[in-house]
A = this chain, B = another copy of it.
Amino acid sequence: MKTTKEILVLAKAAARELRCASENKINAALISMASALIENKDKILEANEKDVAAATGVISDVMIDRLKLTEDRIAAMARGIREIAALPSPLGKVLKHTERPNGLVIERVSAPIGVIAIIYESRPNVTSDAAALALKSGNACVLRGGKEAYNSARAITDALSSGIKKAGLPESSVELLYDTTRAGAAELMSARGYVDLLIPRGGAGLINACVENAKVPCLETGTGICHLYVDKSADIKKALDIVENGKTSRPSVCNALEVCLVHEDVAEEFLPLMRDRLVQRAVPVELRLDEAAMRVIDGTPARDADFDTEFLDYIMAVKVVSSKEEAVAHIEAHSTHHSEAIITEDEAAANYFTDNVDSAAVYVNASTRFTDGGEFGLGCEMGISTQKMHARGPLGIEELTTYKYIVRGNGQIR
């Protein structure tokens, strides 16, 4: 059983080797990882049964379902890795080429980041996704999973490492901490010189703990208080389809809608129709309404806090506004800067919204549910960044790279 420090030293050495690995070698290692998952599926299922047995009665049924692996789920993980292998490499691209008057040729070339640490919770498939995305971008990764999924994550990591080794790359390209306590996470957060980038994946508590305490560069991900603004010139049918999709297609995810702002000119037409769509369904949505909305439809009176809550549930806050400016000001004050949408047929209103709303993704006449690596055409993702440094929105393989400047001269001095 290696200590966290020993693991970090191994991962750093692996990252150094990966830095110069060819695209073919990396893809071969990914394919080999996928095969190793299938070959070791019995071991993985056995380990997962232990986790599920220990967690039963301790965590909710929904969480147990997230934790549980089946042969199909393992096959899906392997397929996911093969899809990542098939993507074009993000490495070695000349992003910029400059020739200076003194003859220096300066190239900005994409390169791996190095060691990426990922602190996550209990979904075992994150283990293989994260490892594959990191490796495709030439990085080693150090994973620290939740203790409920430890046996599963260990079995998956062992399989992935063996696959990588078989393909001739260092098995420490993927490492899992043995320490599943807070101390293990804290050690990663302060491992300056070993961890080049820390990505927390999970709930707001975990992400906040990382952002507050990390001494290594950290990417804030995830929390989404997403807004839909139904403008006075909205196409009401589009607005209804999009509010229903945004709120009910998967309420537990970060790109789901939490707040609907409605222009007063269309409130009397739109709100009753929206209520029909959202309330008259198998699982009704609880609407938390501001005073003006309460005058038009029935619902729960909203408290102030409802406009600052990521419900992740069949609940939505609703507010009537008197202008697009008020809508944008409300979003500015309450958004987590993840995804917001306007429904409008008025191009000037759309442009005002996209210019003024400062979020990772700003939509015109489309659902916020599209903020996702796959939907953006990135193939996959490591999470959604809600900060403005490094990368914003879905983190695909390109966002897991950095660059270096390569400068070629002929004896130039300054």
A→B interface (CB under 8 Å): 16, 19-20, 98, 100, 104, 106, 111, 113-114, 192, 196-197, 211-212, 215, 217-220, 235, 237-238, 241-242, 244-246, 249, 332, 350, 354-356, 358-367, 369-371, 375-377, 387-390, 392-393, 402-414
* A355 and B219 within 8 A (CB): no
Q: Which B residues touch A392, using CB under 8 A?
A: 402-405
> What is the distance, in angstroms, from A170's C-beta to the closest C-beta of chain B?
15
* B404 and A363 within 8 A (CB): no
* B366 and A404 within 8 A (CB): no
Give complex CA distance A212, B216 in Å.
8
* B366 and A407 within 8 A (CB): yes
This protein's copies in its complex: 2
Q: Known interface pairs A19-B355, A388-B402, A413-B241. Does A365 touch B100 (Cβ–Cβ under 8 Å)?
A: no
Interface centre among A100, A114, A366, A370 (most CB of B within 10 A): A366
Give complex CA distance A235, B410 in Å.
10
* A354 and B406 within 8 A (CB): yes
* A245 and B414 within 8 A (CB): yes
* B215 and A367 within 8 A (CB): no
Q: Which B residues touch A220, using CB under 8 A?
A: 217
Q: Which B residues touch A358, using CB under 8 A?
A: 16, 19, 111, 114, 404
Q: Which B residues touch A402, using CB under 8 A?
A: 388-389, 392
Give complex CA distance A366, B332 in Å.
48
CB-contact partner of A365 in B113, B355, B411, under 8 A: B411
Given contacts A354-B406, A362-B406, 18 further A-B contacts (CB under 8 A): A19-B355, A19-B356, A100-B375, A111-B358, A212-B215, A217-B389, A237-B411, A242-B413, A246-B413, A358-B404, A361-B404, A363-B409, A364-B409, A366-B408, A366-B413, A369-B414, A370-B412, A389-B402
List, sorted by A's number, 28 A–B pairs whose CB atoms are closer than 8 Å: A16-B332, A16-B358, A20-B356, A113-B389, A114-B358, A114-B388, A197-B389, A217-B387, A245-B413, A354-B406, A360-B405, A361-B406, A362-B406, A363-B407, A365-B408, A365-B409, A366-B407, A366-B410, A366-B412, A367-B413, A369-B414, A370-B414, A376-B405, A389-B390, A392-B402, A392-B403, A392-B404, A393-B404
